[in-house]
Amino acid sequence: MSAFQHRHASHCESGVMAALVTHAGLPLSEPMAFGLASTLSFAYIPLIKVGGLPLVAYRALPHAITKGLRKPLGLTMQVETFRKADQGVARLDELVAEKQLVALQTSGFWLPYFPEDLRFHFNVHNLIVFGRDGDDYLISDPVFEDTVRCPKADLTKARFAKGLMAPKGRIYFTRSTVQEPCWGKILPAAIRKTCRTMLAPVPFAGAKGIRSLARAVAKLDNSGDGAHARHFLGHMVRMQEEIGTGGGGFRFIYAAFLQEAAELLNLPPLATKADEMIAIGDEWREIALAAALMIRGRKLLEPKLIAAMLSTQADREESFFRALRALV
């Protein structure tokens, strides 16, 4: 095995999986990991609360990339969780001693190398342990520019945090070597799957999910100090930023994926779609900006305006994915 190479990524799970697969022999970019696992999505689920507000997600559920890459790449992943922390620590140490690259699910709140103000109880932060130095683990955290270190006690706490989607010490790794897949088969399948998700005939997912969110935003009360409306809008943008990756970031990652796919499949129309996807991502940035200005009171608080933008966005994404579906 060659030495492990850290790469700065936009999103933790796609970054971790791209690094694991690359290390296993197939050079894979982050957008390719993201697109191949059909991770682009949208979900608005009022029944699941995050910090008291409805779940808004701009991509598929956590673990979707880990699971989604297995079939197209013929990848065998070993996944283990632990009931007791000491078992989890012992197993990680054993694998690290074997020089095995191990990915972990953690809670960002307990990781001391995170800037204090960015530590929230978010239980699905992924990172890779690539070595140990005394009581410190050597960590490749894809959302950081460089590799970092984390003391054992802190990492253990992060691995065994409780709450929504508790990691339970989850580790995952692969011992297999990955061969070049048949791109002509797996890429169209992955793109079709994303189209299916985005055009799903249910009110909480895809373009229809964006419309449901628009309706909920339109109903926000902006009378009085509008505290709840501001809180809700902030939450919507935060889900796009922290858990997303910078104003519609997932849309930009998907655009990068479509460009790669256009080359591998020799299908130039996909590259045109990539440019459209960038325009859609830019629109998400506009929505985030408008909401942020309203939150700070630099712009009049008008939830209906944001709702209208969201609703236009729903139409754009719907027609985008209908056209994309027809291409592959």
Partner 1 sequence: MDDSQVPQEGNALFKGQRKAVYARGLDGKVRPVPSAGWQVEEIVTRQALEVLAAQAETARQRALRGEASPLEYHMYRSRMDLPLLAQSTGIWQWRVRRHFRPEIFSKLSNAILSRYSEAMGVPMEKIQSAEP
Which residue, 30 or 197, is less far from partner 1 as judged by CB? 30
Cβ–Cβ under 8 Å, residues 155 and 106: yes
Which residue, 115 or 224, is less far from partner 1 as judged by CB? 115
Residues 6+ apart with CB under 8 A from 75: 21, 24, 69, 174, 176, 178
Which CA distances in Å does 262 have to 248, 254, 256, 274, 288? Answer: 22, 12, 10, 9, 30
Give me the least distance between CB of 319 and partner 1, in Å please: 21
Which residue, 86 or 242, is less far from partner 1 as judged by CB? 242
Look up residue 267 and give its DSSP letter: -
Residues contributing to the site for partner 1 (CB under 8 A):
8-10, 30-31, 51-52, 109-110, 115-121, 143-145, 157, 161-164, 166, 230-231, 234-235, 237-238, 241-242, 245-247, 249, 252-253, 255-256, 259, 274-275, 278, 281-282, 285, 288-289, 291-292, 295-296
Give me the least distance between CB of 95 and partner 1, in Å please: 26
Give me the least distance between CB of 317 and partner 1, in Å please: 17
Q: Distance (Å, rounded) from C-alpha 27 to C-alpha 223?
A: 54
Which residue, 201 or 298, is less far from partner 1 as judged by CB? 298
Residues 6+ apart with CB under 8 A from 147: 6, 130, 138, 139, 140, 141
Give me the least distance between CB of 30 and partner 1, in Å please: 7
Beta strands in 63-220 (DSSP E): 78-80, 102-106, 125-133, 136-140, 148-151, 171-173
H or E element in which residue 41 lies: strand 40-50
Look-up of token digits 């408008």? 290
Which residue, 192 or 285, is less far from partner 1 as judged by CB? 285
**Bridge partners for 171 per DSSP:** 80, 104
Give me the least distance between CB of 238 and partner 1, in Å please: 5
Give me the least distance between CB of 163 and partner 1, in Å please: 5
Which residue, 8 or 322, is less far from partner 1 as judged by CB? 8
Cβ–Cβ under 8 Å, residues 285 and 248: yes
Task: For residue 111, give both structure tokens.
Answer: 């990781």
At what angle are helices 303-327 and 183-198 packed, to 10 degrees?
A: 150
Which residue, 23 or 230, is less far from partner 1 as judged by CB? 230
Task: For residue 200, give both structure tokens.
Answer: 């799903």
Amino acid, single-letter form, for residue 15? G
Give me the least distance between CB of 63 and partner 1, in Å please: 20
Which residue, 174 or 245, is less far from partner 1 as judged by CB? 245
- How many whole angstroms from its chain centre is CA 292? 22
Q: Distance (Å, rounded) from C-alpha 47 to C-alpha 29?
A: 35
Give me the least distance between CB of 314 and partner 1, in Å please: 21
